Structure 1
Amino acid sequence: MDQIAAMRAFVRVVEAGTFTRAADLLDSPKPTVTKLIQQLEAHLRTKLLNRTTRRVGVTPDGAAYYERALALLSDLDELDGSMMRSQATPSGRLRVDVPSSLALYALIPALPDFIARYPDIQLDMGVSDRPVDLVAENVDCAIRGGSLTDPTLIARRIGQVQLVPCAAPDYIRQYGLPLHPRELESGHRVVGYFSARTGRPVSFEMMRGDEHYDLDLPHAVAVNDSTAYLAAGLAGLGIIQGSEPMVRPYMEAGRLVRVLPDWECEAITLHVVYAPNRHLSSRLRVFVDWAAELFASGAAHRRRAASLLMATDPGGG
C-alpha cells in the first residue's frame, strides 16, 4: 500500500463528502480511491468512514486521523515545495475563483503579463458571482469583494475597487440627470443588485464630505451577477453603481454617463481568501502577489489621472 496516496485519498473523501467527487478531484478512478481507503482501514485496523448511499461521514477514529493526516500532508507539501522553489520556477495547476466583472475587466486583460512571468503555471479560473466552497470544489483561492462572511478563511487584502454611479444615455434622456442622491428616491430608478452569497440587496451608498446617504431605492429589475448588472444598465433599465474597471470603457465610448459627479460611492475592498488547511504553494504565492500588484498599480494610475484632471480643469481648484 502507498500510505501517502491512501492518506491523500482519505483526506479528499472527507472533504468532498463522496467517493465519486473525491475521485474527480484526485483525477483518479473511483475504484482506485475505494481500494486505497480499504487498504488504509485494514492497515490501521479501524473503521475511518461511515458509508451511506448518498454521503460519506467520518467515524470518531476517522475524525482524529483526518486532523493528523492533514497536518502531516501539509508539512510534506511544504517540504516538497521549499525544495522545488529553490530549484525551479513556480509550476503546476492553480485553480482560482473570481467575480465576473473583475475577471472580464481587470484580471483577464492583465493575464498576458502573469503568463509571461510564470509560463509553467496552468491557471484555471472560475468566473461567476456565485458562492464557492473552496474545500469541496478544490479551489486554491478566490478573490472576493466587500465584507468577508466566512471567518474560517485566511484572507489577504489586495486593494480596492471604486464604484461609479452611471446610466445609459437613453435613461438620462427619459429621466434626466439627478442633482442630489435624494432625487433617486422619487422620479428615478436603479438596477437592483442582490448578493449571490447571502441574497441580501445591496444599497446605494453616496458620500460627499460629511454627508452620507445609504439608500434603498426602487427598481424594476434586480440581478445577482455583475455582468448582468452591467447589461441592465446599458439597456437603460436604471442607474447602476458599476466597478470602475467595468464601466470605464463604456463611459469612454459614450454608452454610459457618469451621474452625480460631485458624489462618491464607497469603495469595495478586495481580498484573496483561501482555506487554512490548504498548502500555500509557490504558485499560489506568486498569484496573490501579482494580483496585489495589479490592483495597486491600477489605484496609482487612477490617482495620477485624477491629479492631472484637477491640474487642467479650470473648475477643479
Structure 2
Amino acid sequence: MANFQLRVVKLETSVNLRDLRAFCAVVEQGSITAAATALAETKGAVSRRISRLEEKLGTPLIQRGSGRALPTPEGLVYRQRAIEALEILDTAQGELMDQQVTPQGHLRITVLQGFANTLNLGDCLGRFAQAYPQVSVDVIMTTDILSLQEDQIDFAFRLVPGALPDSNNRALLLARVGLGFAASPEYLKVNGVPKHPNELQRHRLLLPRTFGSGISISMQPAQQPEMTETFYFEGHITCPDMLFLADTALAGGGIALMPPSVQKAYVDNGQLVPVLGNWESSQAGNLYLVYSGGPLSPKAKAFKDFIKEAFRHTPWV
C-alpha cells in the first residue's frame, strides 16, 4: 500500500480530470454502463478512461465482472482522495466564476511617495471602492521603483520621460504630461527673469524626482521646431509631489517644473508666473500604469479598466 501511495504522489499531476471523474462515477454508480449513462458517454469511452487511469497509476482500480464494477482496495483509497481533490477544484472553479461576475479579492499598487496627491489618486480609488466594494487595495508609497514580481505588485503608476524600458511587463499609457516652469513674482524680482533655457542653470530649480535628480528636456522657441535644443537641468530641490514643488515655489524657493494643470490655479490668481513662456517643450512626461504580462484576474481587469476610464478625462492629456 505504501508503494501505491508513493506512485500516486508522483503521477497524479498527469492524470486526466475527465478520467478521474469517470472512475468516481463508476464506483458511485456500481457499473460502467450506469456511469456512462450519467456522464452522457458511451460504455466503451468510460471503460477506456478507467483503463487509461489504471495504466497511469500502475495498479488496478476496478474489479470487473457479472455486470458489476467494484473498487479494488487500492481503488477505494484512491477514490476517497480523488473525491476530496475534485471537491477542492470544483469549489475553486465556482469561486472564480463568482469573481467573474463580481470582482473580489486584494490588489497591491505602488506609486512614488508624494506623487499620489498630484495624480488625485485618493479620489480615484475612493470611486473605485464604491464601484467594487469587494476588492481591497493596498497602496505602497515609496521613493523606490518596486519590482512587480519580487515585491508582488499588481499595478505601478510610473511617470517617465519618453517610453518605458523594454521588459516582460505590460503598460497602459494613461496621460502625456505637459511640463512648464513657473516661479513666484517675489523670486523673479530678486533673481531676475530668465529669457533662455541656458539661463536656468544659475537659478534654484525645483524638479520632480520622478525623473531622477536631473532631467533632459527638448525645447524650442515658440512655433520654431527647427530650433529644437536639448537642455539638462539639475534640481536644487527634488520631490515626486508636484503640489509640494508648487508650495516651495510660492515660498520663493526657486523655479518649479510642473504640469501646466498644476500651475493653472496659482497662475490665475497671480501667485506664480510662467517662466520661458515663449519656449515650448517638445518632450512630455508619460504616465503609465504598469502590470505583469499574462491573463488578468477579474479584480485586476476591473482596476485597469476603471483607471483607464478615469484618466481619459484628465486635464494632463
TM-score (norm 2): 0.58
Equivalent in the alignment of 2:214: 201
Offset, 1:123: 1.8
Equivalent in the alignment of 1:261: 277
Equivalent in the alignment of 2:288: 271
Contact 1:92 1:120 (C-alpha < 8 Å) held by counterparts = yes
Asked which structure has the greater CA Rg, the reply is 2
Equivalent in the alignment of 2:193: 177
In 2, Cα distance between the equivalents of 1:81 and 1:255?
A: 55
What secondary structure does 1:179 align onto?
Answer: coil
In 1, Cα distance between the equivalents of 2:113 and 2:132?
A: 23
Contact 2:213 2:238 (C-alpha < 8 Å) held by counterparts = no
Which of 72, 90, 99 is residue 103 of structure 2 equivalent to?
Answer: 90
Offset, 1:270: 1.7
| Unmatched tracts of structure 1, length 5 or more | 4-75, 304-317
1:119 equivalenced with 2:119 (yes/no): no
Contact 2:215 2:233 (C-alpha < 8 Å) held by counterparts = no
Contact 2:184 2:272 (C-alpha < 8 Å) held by counterparts = yes
> How many equivalent pairs are there?
223
In 2, Cα distance between the equivalents of 1:98 and 1:245?
A: 20
Equivalent in the alignment of 2:122: 108
In 2, Cα distance between the equivalents of 1:249 and 1:93?
A: 37
In 2, Cα distance between the equivalents of 1:280 and 1:298?
A: 25
Offset, 1:117: 1.8
Contact 1:193 1:202 (C-alpha < 8 Å) held by counterparts = no
In 1, Cα distance between the equivalents of 2:301 and 2:111?
A: 16
User: Residue type of the partner of 2:104?
Assistant: S
User: Residue type of the partner of 1:223?
Assistant: T
Offset, 1:132: 0.7
Offset, 1:245: 4.7
- Residues 116-137 of structure 1 deviation map (CA, whole Å, 9 limit, x = unaligned): 2222221221223421122222
Q: Check 1:256–1:288 CA distance in 2 against 1; reply closer, same or farther (3 A cut).
A: farther
In 2, Cα distance between the equivalents of 1:144 and 1:81?
A: 33
Contact 2:214 2:234 (C-alpha < 8 Å) held by counterparts = no
Q: Check 1:131–1:85 CA distance in 2 against 1; reply closer, same or farther (3 A cut).
A: same
User: Residue type of the partner of 2:146?
Assistant: V
Offset, 1:292: 1.9
Contact 2:208 2:258 (C-alpha < 8 Å) held by counterparts = no
1:41-190 equivalent positions in 2, closer than 5 A: 83-86=97-100, 88-100=101-113, 102-105=115-118, 106-146=120-160, 147-149=163-165, 151-186=167-202, 188-190=203-205
Q: Percent identity?
A: 27
4+ long deviations beyond 6 Å: 78-81
Offset, 1:297: 0.6
Offset, 1:249: 4.2
| Unmatched tracts of structure 2, length 5 or more | 1-8, 10-89
Equivalent in the alignment of 1:298: 314
